């Protein structure tokens, strides 16, 4: 029970770290891009917050769905494999939704006039 | 705590969690969305969009919650379902996962709505209304 909980908490910590790092890395450039594209400050705030939500929701929805319901006599590596399986699902979902968000932002930039062009 | 009691408690806790998560996401996006919605063309559209946002986040969360069924191929009767605590915990995890996923879809949907608002506010009025709001 303790091993299961520990494995789940480690998986949860890694799954939360990945979107946090991704957001911190991308935020300055995304902020600049949105500021140059949108005239409305509320729009910039909305898309930045949405990006953060998308990252966390995607990662957590996959991570929490991972069940560590293994046999009582399971070995250490079985928990590691299960954790890796959960992390794989989490990363896959995060990347898919980052891709969807990227397409959305590309459409947004392509559709709206760029401030600098005016 | 018996498995049956755990099932009842966890089911309603998950339902409350679905509503709470929907509300938290709504509160996160409320102000910025309201700012964007004000730029929407049409007289009643901004207020309609602002009123639709909470429904558009809480209802998908609830939908995600109820979309998970306790019955599966190897467990069809109530007795079989409550027999294993591990199965009940796994179902709770599935419910929370589904709630988060449906909220995620809702957020992406509202992103598209904002894109359309900005497109029409920008192109339709040549940015005049948006500029006023920005000032």
Q: At what angle do helices A41-64 and B85-124 cross, to 10 degrees?
A: 160
Indicate the pTM of the whole model.
0.87
Question: Is the predicted ipTM greater than 0.95, yes or no?
Answer: no
Verify whether the Cβ–Cβ distance B35 to A57 is below 8 Å.
Answer: no
Verify whether the Cβ–Cβ distance B98 to A66 is below 8 Å.
Answer: no
- Using DSSP, how many helices (H) and how many strands (E) does chain A show? 3, 0
Q: Give pLDDT tens digits for B100-132.
A: 999 999 999 999 999 999 888 754 444 444 444
What's the structural domain count of chain B?
1
* Owning domain of residue B9: 3-134
Mean pLDDT in residue range A84-93: 93
B130 chain-A contacts, CB cut-off 8 A: 39-40
| Contact call for residues B53 and B26 (beta carbons, < 8 A) | yes
Domain spans, chain A: 2-117
pLDDT at A118: 53
Residues of chain B with pLDDT under 70: 122-135
B87 chain-A contacts, CB cut-off 8 A: 69
* Test the B interface: residue of A1, A11, A16, A39 with most B CBs within 10 Å: A39
pLDDT at A70: 80
CA atoms of B13 and A118, how far apart (whole Å): 53
Q: How close does chain A come to B71, measured CA to CA in Å?
A: 17
A40, HSE (Cβ side, Cα atoms, 13 Å): 30
A60 chain-B contacts, CB cut-off 8 A: 100
Mean pLDDT in residue range A78-105: 92
pLDDT at A114: 54
């Amino acid at each position: 029970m303790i091993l299961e909980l520990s494995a789940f908490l480690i998986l949860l910590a890694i799954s939360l770290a990945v979107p946090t790092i991704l957001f911190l890395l991308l935020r300055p450039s995304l902020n600049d891009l949105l500021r140059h594209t949108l005239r409305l400050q509320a729009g910039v705030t909305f898309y930045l917050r949405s990006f953060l939500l998308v990252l966390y929701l995607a990662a957590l929805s996959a991570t929490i769905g991972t069940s560590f319901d293994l046999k009582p006599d399971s070995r250490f590596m079985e928990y590691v494999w299960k954790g890796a399986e959960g992390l794989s699902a989490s990363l896959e979902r995060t990347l898919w939704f980052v891709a969807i968000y990227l397409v959305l932002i590309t459409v947004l930039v392509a559709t709206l006039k760029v401030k600098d062009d005016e | 705590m018996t498995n049956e009691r755990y099932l009842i408690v966890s089911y309603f806790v998950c339902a409350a969690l679905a509503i709470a998560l929907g509300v938290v996401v709504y509160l996160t996006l409320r102000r910025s969305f309201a700012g964007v919605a004000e730029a929407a063309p049409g007289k009643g559209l901004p207020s309609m969009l602002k009123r639709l946002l909470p429904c558009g986040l809480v209802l998908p969360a609830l939908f995600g919650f109820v979309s998970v069924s306790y019955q599966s191929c190897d467990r069809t009767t109530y007795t079989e379902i409550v027999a294993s605590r591990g199965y009940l915990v796994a179902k709770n995890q599935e419910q929370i996962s589904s709630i988060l996923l449906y909220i995620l879809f809702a957020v992406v949907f509202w992103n598209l709505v904002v894109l359309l608002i900005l497109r029409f506010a920008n192109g339709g009025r040549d940015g005049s209304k948006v500029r006023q709001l920005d000032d």
